[in-house]
Amino acid sequence: MSIQRHEVGPRMSKAVVHGDTVYLAGIVAESAKGKSVTDQTRDILGQIDALLAKAGSDKTRILTANIYITEMANFAEMNAVWDTWVVPGHTPARATVEAKLAAPDYKVEIMVVAGK
């Protein structure tokens, strides 16, 4: 089965397509790095939209999501952005746990798998 990679770096790729399944990297904020949980979550979900488009998918076809937040106290703030972004009737399986991330400026990281 064919494998196609997008935004391929020396350490990881941002998106990997295997047949009809799209694996995205754990995405953290870019321009909103160091900003609020709301801003970071919006930034992340925008990047996910763009990566899914490159890979031939979209947010109506997300299968599963792993969300990492650095403080569970920010759960509601992250969810408020998530809940308006997901598409009714097309919500993925999901788990959210608390974990420290690669740099203190990151408060949220989201990793999804989608179908094409």
Neighbour-count burial of 84, counting CB atoms closer than 10 A to its CB (0-12 exposed, 13-18 middle, 19+ buried):
exposed
Closest CB to a copy of itself among 7 and 39?
7
Considering only 5-13, 31-39, 42-50, which stretch makes contact with a copy of itself by CB under 8 A? 5-13
Q: Mark residues 86-115: x for contact with a copy of itself by CB under 8 A, - for none.
A: x-xxxxxxxxxxxxxxx------x-x-x-x
Considering only 12-20, 32-40, 42-50, which stretch makes contact with a copy of itself by CB under 8 A? 12-20
Q: Helices 37-54 and 75-85, interaxial angle, to 10°?
A: 40
Q: Give the shortest CB-114-to-a copy of itself separation in angstroms.
A: 9
Report the residue from 40, 83, 105, 107 that binds a copy of itself according to the rule CB under 8 A.
Answer: 83
Q: Per rule CB under 8 A, is residue 33 in the interface with a copy of itself?
A: no
In this structure, are residues 55 and 83 in contact, taking their beta carbons and an 8 Å threshold? no
DSSP codes, 14-54: EEEEETTEEEEPPB--STTTTS-HHHHHHHHHHHHHHHHHH
Q: Per rule CB under 8 A, is residue 34 in the interface with a copy of itself?
A: no
With vertex at residue 12, the alpha carbon angle to CA 9 and CA 17, rounded to the nearest 5 degrees, is: 100
Between residue 53 and residue 82, which ones bind a copy of itself under the rule CB under 8 A?
61, 63-66, 68, 72, 75, 79, 82
